[in-house]
Homo-oligomer: A and B are copies of this chain.
Amino acid sequence: MAPESTYNRRERPAKPALTREGIVAAAVAVMRAEGVERVTMRRLARELDTGAASLYVYVKDTEELHAAVLDELLAEVELDGAGDWRERLWAVLGSYRSVLFAHPSLARVALVTRLSGPRFLALVEAVLALLDEGGMAPGQAAWAVDVLLLTATAAAVEHGSRRERPGAAREHEVMAESLAGVSSRTHPHIAALGTDLVSGPGPVRARWAFDALLNGALATPRPDPGETR
């Protein structure tokens, strides 16, 4: 319990040091193995051979810990690519989405927490650079990056939540059924579109949304700040 002598420390070399870095590293390991929902104070404390209370010296709360784990993961986002600026931007956002798809429970964290870690900043910088290359006005780009990342994140949350749970496969069916079962008298537009509302492979829809958003952002000037509304 009191490692006064050096040999005592050598006895458990696998145990990470109780530092913020050590805690985050353990958290990443648990997350990769079992998902973020297992990244809890108590579980991490067990992992680090200590009590949950000890972690509060290094980490504000569970949410802050999750945000740190997420930023660590964003290191995997591929920021460099080849081709047209639009294709490269699509690739960057696709890579971001892939990372979140691979860890669906983290996508939730991305939406709820305001990210500000180094990897996230690198991602924002990369997106801004590509929008600049594409000739988007700076003011529009500043606001567009938000919407682009938001939709990518939200798409990952949806997709991820759907895939994660066991009963999720047929939850989509329930949705499709409730759309099909709708009366053309009360819901004429839904009835007219039918399953087209949920049709199409995810990637194709995502690409259309990306193009639509980008086209709109390029063509829509920001409101005059002088206007009261």
Interface set of A (CB-CB < 8 Å, partner B): 60, 108, 111-114, 116, 121-122, 124-125, 128-129, 132, 138-147, 150-151, 153-155, 157-158, 161-162, 167, 171-172, 174-175, 178-179, 182, 186-190, 192-193, 196-197, 199-200, 204-205, 207-209, 211-217, 219-220, 222-223
Nearest B residue to A214, CB-CB:
B216
Main secondary structure of the interface of A (DSSP, over half): helix
> Looking at the complex, which one of B112, B153, B175, B215 makes contact with A216 (CB distance below 8 Å)?
B215
Are A142 and B216 in touch, CB under 8 angstroms?
Answer: no
User: Could you tell me if B124 and A190 are in contact, using CB atoms closer than 8 angstroms?
Assistant: yes
* CB nearest neighbor in B for A204: B223
Given contacts A114-B171, A121-B178, A216-B217, contact A143 B209 (CB under 8 A): yes
Measured CA separation A212–B145 after assembly (Å): 13
With A143-B208, A215-B220 given, name 16 new contacts (CB 8 A). Answer: A112-B161, A114-B158, A121-B179, A122-B187, A125-B186, A125-B187, A140-B212, A141-B189, A142-B193, A142-B196, A147-B212, A153-B154, A208-B220, A208-B222, A214-B216, A216-B219
Closest B residue, CB atoms, query A113: B161
For A216, the chain B residues whose CB sits under 8 A away are 211-217, 219-220
Name the residue in A139, A186, A193, A205 with the highest tally of chain B Cβ atoms < 10 Å from its Cβ: A193
Chain B residue at minimal CB-CB distance from A111: B157
The verdict on A190 contacting B128 (CB below 8 Å), with A121-B182, A212-B213, A215-B220 known, is yes
Check B220 against A212 for contact (C-beta < 8 Å).
yes
Contacts of A213 in B (CB 8 A): 147, 212-213, 216
Q: Which residues of B contact A223 (CB under 8 A)?
A: 204, 207-208
Nearest-neighbour CB distance to chain B for A152, whole angstroms, equals: 10
Contacting pair B121 A187 (CB below 8 A): yes
Q: Contact between B147 and A150 (Cβ–Cβ < 8 Å)?
A: no
CA of A208 to CA of B140 in the docked complex: distance in angstroms?
Answer: 9
